Amino acid sequence: MRRAIEIENKNTATKGKNIMAGTKSLFIPGPTNVPHRIRQAVDLPMEDQRAPDLPTFTLPLFEDLKKIFKTRSGQVFLFPSSGTGGWEAAMANTLSPGDKVLASRFGQFSHLWVDLCQRHGYDVEVIDVEWGEGVPVEQYAKRLAADTGHEIKAVLACHNETATGVTSDVAGVRKALNAAKHPALLFVDGVSSIASIDFRMDEWGVDVAVSGSQKGFMIPAGLAILCVSQKALDARRRADTPRCYFDFEDMIKTNKDGYFPYTPPMSLIRGLRVSVDMLLEEGLENVFARHRRLAEGVRRAVDAWGLSLCAMEAKWHSDTVSAICVPEGFNSADVLKIAYLRYGLSLGAGLSKVAGKVFRIGHLGDLNELMLMSALSGAEMAMRDIGIPVEAGSGVAAAEEYYRHTARPIDLSLDTAAAR
Ligand X SMILES: Cc1ncc(COP(=O)(O)O)c(C=O)c1O
CB neighbour list of residue 69: distance below 8 Å, 6 or more residues apart: 76, 194, 199, 201, 209, 227
**Choice between 160 and 196, CB closer to ligand X:** 160
User: Is 116 exposed, middle or buried, given 0-12, 13-18 or 19+ CB atoms closer than 10 A?
Assistant: middle
Q: How far is the CB of 64 from ligand X (least distance, A)?
A: 22
Contact 299, 372 (CB under 8 A): no
Is there binding between residue 318 and ligand X (CB under 6 A)? no
**Choice between 160 and 377, CB closer to ligand X:** 160
Report DSSP state, residue 327: P
Helix/strand/coil for 321: strand
Among 84, 96, 308, 374, contact with ligand X (rule: CB under 6 A): 84
Among 32, 82, 196, 377, contact with ligand X (rule: CB under 6 A): 82
Among 83, 205, 297, 395, contact with ligand X (rule: CB under 6 A): 83
Among 58, 192, 196, 322, contact with ligand X (rule: CB under 6 A): 192
Rounded to the nearest angstrom, the gap between the alpha carbon of residue 353 and the centroid of all alpha carbons in its chain is: 19
Q: How many CA atoms lie within 13 A of 389 on its CB side?
A: 4
Is there binding between residue 69 and ligand X (CB under 6 A)? no
Q: Which stretch binds ligand X (CB under 6 A): 79-87, 138-146, 171-179, 240-248?
A: 79-87
Q: How far is the CB of 62 from ligand X (least distance, A)?
A: 21
| Residues in contact with ligand X, shown as a per-residue x/- string from 12 to 41 under the rule CB under 6 A | ------------------x-----------
| Residues in contact with ligand X, shown as a per-residue x/- string from 93 to 112 under the rule CB under 6 A | ----------------x---
Is there binding between residue 316 and ligand X (CB under 6 A)? no
**Choice between 93 and 211, CB closer to ligand X:** 211
Four-CA torsion 188, 189, 191, 197, nearest 10 degrees: -50
Give the nearest residue (CB) to ligand X: 83
CB neighbour list of residue 134: distance below 8 Å, 6 or more residues apart: 106, 158, 161, 166, 167, 168, 169, 316
Furthest C-alpha separation in the chain = 74
Helix/strand/coil for 352: helix
Among 162, 164, 168, 322, contact with ligand X (rule: CB under 6 A): 162
Is there binding between residue 134 and ligand X (CB under 6 A)? no
Can you give the binding site for ligand X, defined by CB under 6 A?
Answer: 30, 82-84, 109, 158, 160, 162, 189, 191-192, 212
